[in-house]
Amino acid sequence: MILFLLLVSTESNLRQNLDLFFSYVDNGQLRTARQVISNLFDNDSSNALVRKKYASFLMELGDYDKVLAVFKDDEKLVGEAVKMKTMLKNLKENVHKIYLKSPFSKPVMVELIKQKMLTNMSECYTLLSKAEMLFKDDDKIIYLRALYHAFRSENQLAHQSLLRSGSNRAGIFKNMCDMYKKLSSGSFRYAETKGLVDKLRTLQVNDKHPSIFYMLLINSLVFLVKNGAEENRKVTEYAELLCKLEKKDDSYVLLIKALLAEGKVKESCEQIGKIKNASLRERTERTIEVMKKKKIEERKRAEEQRKSENKRKTNEEERKRRVEEQRRQEKERKEKQRASQHQRYAGTNTDSKGYYKLLGVEPTATPKDIKARYNKLVLKYDVDRQKVKPTEQEKERLTQKLAMINQARDVLLNPKKRKLYDSGMLDQQGYGGGHAAANNEQVKQMLEAFFGRGGGQSFFFDLGGNQGGYRRSQTFYFV
């Protein structure tokens, strides 16, 4: 009796779980339905009804590898799974035939929608609507809806569908869309637009085709090539990529513009034959002819500019050469003058009182050099600036040394006195003793001529005046 009740209870639970499974399938909650039927199969894999429902559900989902792994003992089911797997392998070539044989198989519909998305958007929309009715809330179908909106450049709807599908690319897609919108709405910025294209290109390559970023990449390429060609940028690589992705007349026209912007007229002529529209091809040919003439004019202008620039450089080099020659001659002249002056000073100047030696300068030193040297010596021999307190004897020596330095400074910084000193005509008190002697000799000769020689008379003359605070006198005796 107890065993009978347990069997009835088990059968009742099985029916309830199967009803729950069917309700999930009807509502399109395929993930939950798969979890329920999988648990039922794990608990009672020998139940024929559960095995049948689980196998049919896996076949409907297209999970043929799971069927082969779980039901490997069922030859009929394995054969059918192998057959469907083989058909899916050649799906791209025979997708329409497979769709006619199995119109409600999700993998077949997904592949067919992808192909129609690249060829016929109206048929793609019809298939997508049918798939949404058959496989409600399925992530793959929702992702295909996002692809559909992305291919129509309906980026907001595409982003919403991506969020519903749980795709991890929803945030990236939104960022790329916002970046493209920002760049395309303002003035053209080559570097930033190029960076966006490179990012989209990487995302496109790494994603399955057709990619969610496909249309965004196409629009970005068109924007980059069109504006880059107008600014004579090197965008041929991106134009070729655009032609590879979109083999349309507009793409080839943009490629020709990019080639012309780089001056590749011959290569641009080779692309004209790929334009199918006759009127567009004629307009492009006229544009190329205009560019050829413009190129010839630019070459002539560039040649003239080159000649003018070469002439300017030659004149500039000649001018620099003359300036250098003048500088060299001036330098040689100054060196000769300095050598001559030094030689003259060396021959005439005796530095009788050692003023130059005392200050530590050359006889050819400038007043500026003498002042600088004087300032250093004053600091050196100043009594109050000694590091060690000097004795009375040292103070007297320093004071005498400083007095001599001041005397040398007074003479050498006075142009007249320095000239007399250099010529050896300055006496010990700093006056022109040589000149006074010469004047006295002249006076003596005059007196001799006037009074004659002899007589032993003496005359006193005051010569030289009152200079330096005392009087100078000279006494002459005539015999």
User: Residue 255 pLDDT more than 80?
Assistant: yes
Least confident of 284-288, 292-296, 348-352, 435-439: 435-439
Contact 463, 472 (CB under 8 A): yes
Mean pLDDT of 387-405: 88
Helix, strand, coil percentages (3-state) for the chain, rounded to 5, are 75, 5, 20
User: Residue 443 pLDDT more than 50?
Assistant: no
Distance of alpha carbon 152 from alpha carbon 216, whole angstroms = 10
472 falls in which pLDDT band (50, 70, 90)? very low
Beta bridge partners of 466: 471
Residues 112-122 have pLDDT tens digits of 888 787 778 88
pLDDT at 432: 46
Residues 337-394 have pLDDT tens digits of 877 765 555 445 556 668 888 888 888 888 999 999 999 998 888 888 888 888 888 8
322 falls in which pLDDT band (50, 70, 90)? very high
Contact 221, 197 (CB under 8 A): yes
Contact 18, 57 (CB under 8 A): no
For residue 78, the SS3 value is helix
User: Residue 5 pLDDT more than 70?
Assistant: no
Closest Cα to residue 177, out of 238, 219, 209? 219
Whether the pTM exceeds 0.85: the reply is: no
Q: What angle do CA 53, 58, 62 make, to 5 degrees?
A: 145
Non-local (6+) Cβ contacts of 267 within 8 A are: 259
320 falls in which pLDDT band (50, 70, 90)? very high
Contact 161, 143 (CB under 8 A): yes
Contact 202, 215 (CB under 8 A): no
345 burial level (CB within 10 Å; 0-12, 13-18, 19+): middle
Q: Report the 10 Å Cβ neighbour count for 173.
A: 21
- What domains appear along the chain, each with residue ranges and CATH number? 355-424 (1.10.287.110)
Stretch (H or E) spanning 459: strand 457-461
> What residue ranges in 221-366 does DSSP mark as E strands?
none
Mean pLDDT of 432-448: 48
Stretch (H or E) spanning 475: strand 474-478
Mean pLDDT of 129-151: 83
User: Residue 474 pLDDT more than 60?
Assistant: no
pLDDT at 459: 46
